[in-house]
Amino acid sequence: MKISLIENGLDSLEKGYIHLKKYEEAKESAQSDSARFYILKDATLAIQHGAEILFKYLLKTHNETLLYSDLSRLKEAYRQKHAGEIDELFEADGVHTISYRECIDRIIDMCNIPIDKKLKDNCIKVEKWRNGITHSAVILNEFEVSSVLTKFFDQLDIFFSKTIGDAYVDSPGKANLDRAFRRLRSQQSPNENEVEHKAIERLIHALKINKITEVTTPGVLRVTDTMTAVSILRSMQGDEISYGFDMSNLHCSGKSSLTTVTSEGAIVIFSEDTKCEYHINLKEMIIFIPHIGAKLSPLIFIYSKKLPTLGHAPIITEYKSTKTQRGHKLADGSFVWDKDEYENLDEEHYSEGGVDVERFLSSVCACFMNIQKLEHGAAKRLMFGNPPSSILFDALKQAASQTRSAPDK
């Protein structure tokens, strides 16, 4: 039986996206880490193989010799082929086809066929994942893998439709591949699972760009460097994912963003609901990453260090162990901290871009952040209990460990 390179490649891609649908089903039903890993492994291997075969078909249509690494051995291979001793050149002794990476480079450099940077980057990512699948330990970036493999379909489809043409588009295997992908996208329809998917994907991205890699899911980590915390808080939101917060002074917001760092080193969290800035001198940030499929939000606990009181007649509020100072930030960036001046502000200051400010003065568990569309468990109760950061970290670590060791569903 002889199968064309196009049908071979399309068959592998179809199998890959069938496995990716199975992965989404396993995630939704909260199957074990190992079960999800093996399904995602099969998807990655099949999709990479399918892409490689189709890239090599494209190279072959331009010049068959471009498929081989050592051109000096082709003379004897061609002699054997013409003599009917072999059917394909690669059957000859010492003849080897080029690598996946070299194939892509030759398409660009020797065939003068441009490959979009995003497609090339994802090709290299998928190859690295293929090469790295040598053990069964579930890696935290499984959400990134599934997301990239999903985006990979459209990128490959556009590229091969344009460069291979009718031989690809009208192939019987193409209809089967399209059907497998439609079923995958149906499985990935917007719901809690997609919110969870995007949330952890964004958090993974935030950790990766800060070179934080030794984290499992479920898992917990602590960040004490202010600028690293700032980078994570800025990067973990996007793709329709936003975090709200509950503050230990009883303020809350359904949507927030980290905007800047003050001259004294305090992070600034802006509440879009109340149009108020919160200044926190960050001591430590504890991040809890939930079990995949649990429909729980990632949780961010922020601990504050003391800040000095500003102004001559400050507006101070205390609730339990939390002390805050209220002020106002004018449109020009200056601040009002004295009570009399604050109370004399009129609506014009707000309409011109001014916002109120809450300045955390005490050393406390100042707030926790979570995604409103996902459950946050006992996070609020933990925050208001104001446990020392070491105790909170150990409690979350123990919860993560118990989840990992729980019997598979």
Convert the pLDDT of each residue in 83-114 to its tens digit: 665 666 555 555 557 788 888 988 998 888 99
264-295 per-position pLDDT tens digit: 999 999 998 888 999 999 999 999 988 766 66
Q: Which pLDDT belongs to residue 86?
A: 62
The per-type count for the chain, helices as H runs and strands as E runs, is 14, 12
Per-position DSSP letters for 225-252, written without gaps between them? -HHHHHHHHHHS-BTTB--EEEETTS-E
Q: What percent of the chain has pLDDT over 90?
A: 36
DSSP letters of 45-86?
Answer: HHHHHHHHHHHHHHHHHH-GGGGBS-GGGHHHHHHHHHTTS-
- For residue 257, name the pLDDT band (cuts at 50, 70, 90): confident
Question: What is the average pLDDT across 43-56?
Answer: 93
Give the per-residue pLDDT at 152.
92
> Each residue of 202-229: pLDDT tens digit?
887 788 888 887 666 778 899 999 999 9
Lowest model confidence (mean pLDDT) among 38-52, 82-96, 139-153: 82-96
Name the packing angle between helices 5-28 and 192-208 (round to 10°): 100
Q: Write the CB contacts of 5 (distance below 8 Å, at least 6 apart in sequence).
A: 53, 54, 56, 57, 60
* Residues in Cβ contact with 24 at an 8 Å cutoff, skipping those fewer than 6 apart: 146, 184, 187, 188, 193
Q: Which residues pair with 109 in a beta bridge?
A: none
Does position 189 have pLDDT exceeding 50, yes or no?
yes
DSSP bridge pairs for 316: 325
Helix segments in 63-191, DSSP class H: 74-82, 100-109, 117-132, 142-163, 166-169, 172-187
Q: Does residue 305 carry a pLDDT above 90?
A: yes
The stretch 372-394 carries a mean pLDDT of 82
Residue 405 pLDDT greater than 60, yes or no: no
pLDDT of 408 reads: 44
- The stretch 381-390 carries a mean pLDDT of 85
Residue 180 scores a pLDDT above 60: yes
Higher-pLDDT residue of 6, 136: 6
Q: Which of 250, 257, 260 is nearest to 272 (CA)?
A: 257
User: How high is the pLDDT of residue 301?
Assistant: 95
What does the pLDDT read at residue 328? 94
Q: What is the pLDDT of residue 191?
A: 54
Q: 407: pLDDT confidence band, cut at 50, 70 and 90?
A: very low
Closest Cα partner for 108 from 150, 163, 65? 163
**Weakest-pLDDT range from 128-142, 218-232, 248-262, 287-301:** 128-142
pLDDT-based confidence at residue 313 (cuts at 50, 70, 90): very high
- Does residue 139 surpass a pLDDT of 60? no
Higher pLDDT among residues 75 and 402, named by residue:
402
Enumerate residues 6+ apart whose C-beta is below 8 A from 39.
19, 22, 23, 26
Most confident of 11-20, 63-72, 171-180: 11-20
The H or E element that residue 211 is part of is: none
> What are phi and psi for residue 369, nearest 5 degrees?
-120, 140
Q: Which residue has the higher pLDDT, 137 or 53?
A: 53
Q: So what's the pLDDT on residue 290?
A: 81
* Structure token pair of residue 385: 């209990």
Unique residue bearing structure tokens 């329709």: 240
* Per-residue model confidence (pLDDT) at position 308: 95
For the stretch 332-352, pLDDT in tens is 889 999 999 998 888 777 777
The reported pLDDT for the residue numbered 211 is: 86
Residues 360 and 302: beta-carbon distance below 8 Å = no
Average per-residue pLDDT for the chain: 83
